[in-house]
A and B are shown apart, each in its own frame.
Chain A
Amino acid sequence: MACQGLSKGETVSSLRAESENLKAKLEEERSKLHDVELHQVAEKVEALGQFVMKTRRTLKGHGNKVLCMDWCRDKRRIVSSSQDGKVIVWDAYTTNKEHAVTMPCTWVMACAYAPSGCAIACGGLDNKCSVYPLSLDKNENLSAKKKSVAMHTNYLSSCSFTNSDMQLLTSSGDGTCALWDVESGQLLQSFHGHSADVLSLNLAPSETGNTFVSGGCDKKANVWDMRSGQNIQSFETHESDINCVRYYPSGDAFATGSDDATCRLYDLRADREVAIYSKESIIFGASSVDFSLSGRLLFAGYNDYTINVWDVLKGTRVAILFGHENRVSTVRVSPDGTAFCSGSWDNTLRRWAGYSFRFVYCCIWTL
């Protein structure tokens, strides 16, 4: 890439010094308004009662690590994707598999349900995001209608439809995010600003306008204007990769889960981090986070096989959930907030009639 506008005497170290100066100035400006802590303001909020959640359903069928999952807006269907290239659509009420697709690549790291419930999107090591219309005919081969929409120059880490089936937002190991027109496959907007792999993205709740947040291996969380492609705000307080980003239901904040074993809350109007969810005993990375419907609870899945439930306002942990036998890779609350689904690298060996089967589970948890 050609270097533009090189000033005389500009070196990497002088630029670095300038960058450090600006970061210090930004922190100074942010600190001026840091007049109180969230948990102090939250002292007046009623404490939560005892919190007990159990696994009520297990979705069995993936043969290898579950990497991603997404709920359909109908609150009962789920799409999940795994390391062995399989993408499965489930009815979470009955645990029946409704559709299954085998991708031509392994490590399908991203999958998403379309708002209409009539299609799914997925991708991973193929560097693409493809859309599969879901047929009512269970015998139809879904792969026949597959449409390649997004093309990146490295793995696809995350994908999401926007408020309609017509546009897809993707993030990639190539360091960019992009907005695509599903019908034509045209690139509508690209988002540059991360300096390493982007691992996760999340669209703001529709009432709050056209923005989304992304997080990645550069330890940054960036907020973007979808129309202009501009990076509006950026936060760099994590000490390691950010694996997951999720908006607070009001759209005024977002949470992150990171390899530094913490989850954090960033307030968009105060323009700063306002809470850290951590404990000395938690030393493994948080891979995935999601809020309960009101935003009071934050569910976080960790590489130590547990799910921790945090009181978002008071900053305390309200429960630890044990149910997986390997890393929890994905945690998603259902659209009506009655349950959440967790996917894992669980690999349970079962023997039956002389054959060995490995089953990997997604679990549905509720009160």
Chain B
Amino acid sequence: MARDMSDKDILKMEIDQLQKEVKTAREPVSKTAKELCDFVETQSAEDPLIKGVPEDKNPFKEKGGCIIT
């Protein structure tokens, strides 16, 4: 649909959107960045690519052996 719109219509759509967005509630980066870091720290213990995967638990490590499907 955007392809069929005239330049004027696209600009009007943009302007409407920007007017709404200027009013969006925002939080300071100091607060939100800390929360992003905190989230990672609590989840890292469960992230196999961070804490490592023991050979016997990793289904991709060794080919062969029995897999019951």
SS class, residues of chain B in contact with chain A: helix
Closest to A231 in B: B17
Contact A292 B29 (CB under 8 A): no
Q: List 8 A-B contacts (CB under 8 A).
A: A15-B15, A19-B15, A22-B18, A45-B37, A45-B41, A92-B60, A293-B46, A338-B59
Contact B53 A26 (CB under 8 A): no
Residues of B within 8 A of A26 (CB): 18, 21-22
Q: How far is the CA of A294 from the CA of B63 in the complex (A)?
A: 27
Listed stretches A28-36, A82-90, A105-113, A347-355; interface member: A28-36
Listed stretches A126-134, A162-170, A238-246, A263-271; interface member: A263-271
Q: How far is the CA of A19 from the CA of B10 in the complex (A)?
A: 11
Residues of A within 8 A of B11 (CB): 12, 15-16, 18-19
Q: Which B13-28 residues have a C-beta within 8 angstroms of A?
A: 13-15, 17-19, 21-22, 24, 26-28
Q: A207: shortest Cβ distance to chain B, in Å?
A: 12
Contact A192 B40 (CB under 8 A): no
Contact A194 B33 (CB under 8 A): no
Interface size band for B: 35 or more
Contact B21 A1 (CB under 8 A): no
When each residue 55-69 of chain B gets 1 if its CB lies under 8 Å from chain A and 0 otherwise, what string results? 000111101000101
Q: How far is the CA of A271 from the CA of B24 in the complex (A)?
A: 8
Q: Which A117-164 residues have a C-beta within 8 angstroms of B?
A: 153-154
Contact B3 A234 (CB under 8 A): no
Using A29-B26, A296-B50 as known contacts, list a sample of 12 further A-B pairs with CB atoms less than 8 Å apart, ordered by residue number in A. Answer: A18-B15, A38-B29, A41-B29, A41-B30, A41-B34, A195-B5, A270-B29, A274-B33, A293-B49, A313-B40, A366-B58, A366-B60
Question: Which of B21, B26, B47 is A270 in contact with, Cβ under 8 Å?
Answer: B26
Q: A219: shortest Cβ distance to chain B, in Å?
A: 13
Closest to A235 in B: B21
Q: How far is the CA of A129 from the CA of B13 in the complex (A)?
A: 27
Contact B36 A253 (CB under 8 A): yes
When each residue 39-51 of chain B gets 1 if its CB lies under 8 Å from chain A and 0 otherwise, what string results? 1110110111110
Q: B63: shortest Cβ distance to chain A, in Å?
A: 8
Residues of B within 8 A of A295 (CB): 36, 39-40, 43
Q: How far is the CA of A346 from the CA of B48 in the complex (A)?
A: 28
Residues of A within 8 A of B18 (CB): 19, 22-23, 25-26
